[in-house]
């Protein structure tokens, strides 16, 4: 008898890092993609800030004949950069709303659907540690994701669910194209002096999803070629 593949929801799975992660997990997982953009028929077209996102995911799972999620990989996010004096409240509120409030909303909505001993992998950013000028709202929102993960790992740990964070350095994707001009400086700051790719994030995510990471929770793994050392 064939063992059913575990089910993982990958947000932001229509492009960039999310797309790479979703594609890489396909052989071993039953992948459900959530994105605001158009997604495949078995995916979920939804906004992570929407109060109804949990119901939308539940409907998609029911259509697949399953009722539980074994894992959540939350890659969806937005970026906006600019000096503190120039950034409008509308711009920074959007960044904080999607990246931080959206993460809280999504995990709160889906936590009842997560199977015991499941996995949650969230995405932060190396900017939360570097704190570069012109990135205050983005860095704050991504630092908030780390704090959120550290707290909820205590609560979800009661059910054996792990919560960990991946913090990439600059990876040029459609979301980060607006700061692609900084890539050379980022490469120069790294111990491994090459451009980052979306594929560099796949195995760190796979580790956090693996049985070998069942005793690893509340941790943040920086994946940036050694630009940040801690």
Positions marked catalytic: 138
The closest of 30, 37, 1 to 16, measured between CA atoms, is: 37
Angstrom distance (rounded) from CA 86 to CA 133: 12
What are the DSSP E strand ranges found in 75-219?
A: 114-123, 162-168
User: What DSSP state is assigned to residue 127?
Assistant: H
Please state, in angstroms and as integers, the Cα–Cα distance from residue 150 to each residue in 17, 121, 143, 172, 218, following that order. 23, 12, 11, 28, 5
In whole angstroms, what is the distance from residue 206 CA to residue 116 CA?
18
CB 106 within 8 A of CB 47: no
Is residue 222 classed exposed, middle or buried when 0-12, 13-18 and 19+ CB atoms within 10 A define those classes?
buried
Residues belonging to the chain: 230
Q: Could you give phi then psi for residue 160, rounded to 5 degrees?
A: 80, 10
User: Phi and psi for 221 in degrees, rounded to 5?
Assistant: -105, 115
């Amino acid at each position: 008898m064939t063992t059913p593949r575990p089910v993982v929801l990958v947000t932001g799975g229509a492009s960039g890092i999310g797309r790479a992660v979703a594609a890489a997990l396909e052989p071993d997982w039953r992948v459900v993609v959530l994105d605001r953009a158009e997604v495949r028929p078995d995916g979920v077209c939804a906004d992570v800030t929407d109060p109804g996102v949990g119901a939308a995911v539940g409907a998609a799972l029911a259509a697949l004949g399953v009722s539980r999620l074994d894992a959540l990989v939350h890659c969806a996010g937005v970026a906006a950069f600019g000096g503190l004096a120039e950034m409008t409240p509308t711009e920074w509120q959007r960044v904080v709303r999607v990246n931080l409030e959206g993460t809280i909303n999504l995990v709160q909505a889906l936590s009842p659907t997560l199977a015991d001993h499941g996995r949650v992998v969230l995405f932060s950013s190396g900017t939360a540690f570097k704190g570069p000028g012109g990135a205050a709202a983005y860095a704050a929102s991504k630092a908030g994701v780390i704090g959120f993960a550290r707290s909820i790992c205590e609560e979800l740990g009661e059910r054996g669910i792990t919560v960990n964070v991946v913090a990439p350095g600059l990876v040029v994707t459609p979301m980060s194209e607006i700061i692609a001009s900084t890539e050379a400086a980022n490469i120069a700051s790294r111990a491994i002096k090459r451009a980052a790719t979306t594929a560099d994030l796949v195995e760190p995510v796979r580790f956090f999803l693996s049985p070998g990471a069942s005793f690893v929770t509340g941790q943040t793994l920086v994946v940036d070629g050694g630009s940040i050392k801690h």
